[in-house]
Amino acid sequence: MTFLGKFFTSKNLSSPVDLSVLKCDMHSHFVPGIDDGAKSPENSIELIRFFYNQGYKKIITTPHIMGDFYRNTRETIFSGLEKVKHQLKSENIPVELDAAAEYYVDYEFEKKIGKESLLTFGKNYILIEISYVNQPDNLDRVLFELQTNGYQPILAHPERYPFWFDSIDKFEALANNGVLLQLNINSLTGYYSPQSRKMAEQLIDRQLVRFLGSDCHHTGHLEVIKQALYAPYLKKLIDSGLLLNNTL
């Protein structure tokens, strides 16, 4: 049985969820050629057009910044962003496009806090991710330093960290300490793993999610999003009134 065959069950919604109420996607990889996302300006436009057609008015794209791999800077990100903006104008796609970054929490990142201006969006929100292998030793310290320096941390896709699959209390503690949690739409299909889907649903049940992001890298992700539109938990999250996407 194919993935899509597994996904479509009698438990799915009969009609798709309307994503236009979100207004803004705040996690994607649409600056071409600088990380593992879009490969060319044309590829960027193809991806952005999908979200525009879903009713999004704004996209804040967030290229990776990782000390050992994607050593992007403000300059590389915004120079690439301008190319995509120019292409959007040529293609007459009236979506607002901005950029920040998805920072990988490593010691290279920690050294930047308080010493350089980090890429943020909204109310000084900063999007961070951590290792999928184990919790970084410096996470609590980094979160404290970010908040002390006036940043509002958003933890990207908490449902995808295997070492916390049985630790919903960890996310409640993070939320209680002012860390906002961002869920990936595709997690609700089991795309990453059944365990990620289960955690995503638990986070929604506990009312811990404040942002919904696509984390879109390529056209394959678009096909999964189309299926996610029929996920009951996507409707539950959007109907909760807790999401902050439309404030950006």
pLDDT score for 145: 98
Whether the pLDDT of residue 133 is over 50: the answer is: yes
Lowest mean pLDDT among 65-69, 170-174, 220-224: 65-69
Tens digit of pLDDT for each residue in 84-104? 999 999 999 999 999 999 999
Distance from C-alpha of 53 to C-alpha of 19, rounded to nearest angstrom: 10
If you average pLDDT over residues 164-190, what whole number do you get? Answer: 98
Mean pLDDT of the chain: 95
Indicate the domain borders of the chain. 3-247
How confident is residue 7, by pLDDT bands cut at 50, 70 and 90?
Answer: low
pLDDT score for 2: 42
In 3D space, the residue among 111, 103, 120, 114 whose CA is nearest the CA of residue 65 turns out to be: 103
Whether the pLDDT of residue 25 is over 50: the answer is: yes
Tens digit of pLDDT for each residue in 71-88? 999 999 999 999 999 999
Pairing outcome for strands 125-129 and 58-61: unpaired
How confident is residue 8, by pLDDT bands cut at 50, 70 and 90?
Answer: very low
Distance from C-alpha of 116 to C-alpha of 51, rounded to nearest angstrom: 32
pTM, two decimal places: 0.95
If you average pLDDT over residues 148-176, what whole number do you get? Answer: 98
Whether the pLDDT of residue 68 is over 90: the answer is: no
Whether the pLDDT of residue 3 is over 80: the answer is: no
In 3D space, the residue among 43, 186, 182 whose CA is nearest the CA of residue 103 turns out to be: 182
How many angstroms separate the Cα of 211 from the Cα of each of 59, 77, 78, 83, 245?
A: 13, 22, 23, 27, 6
Tens digit of pLDDT for each residue in 213-237? 999 999 999 999 999 999 999 999 9
Distance from C-alpha of 39 to C-alpha of 6, rounded to nearest angstrom: 30
Whether the pLDDT of residue 147 is over 70: the answer is: yes
pLDDT score for 208: 98
pLDDT score for 5: 44
Residue spans of beta strands (DSSP E) within the chain? 24-25, 58-61, 64-65, 96-99, 102-104, 125-129, 152-156, 180-184, 209-213
* CATH number for the domain whose boundaries are 3-247: 3.20.20.140
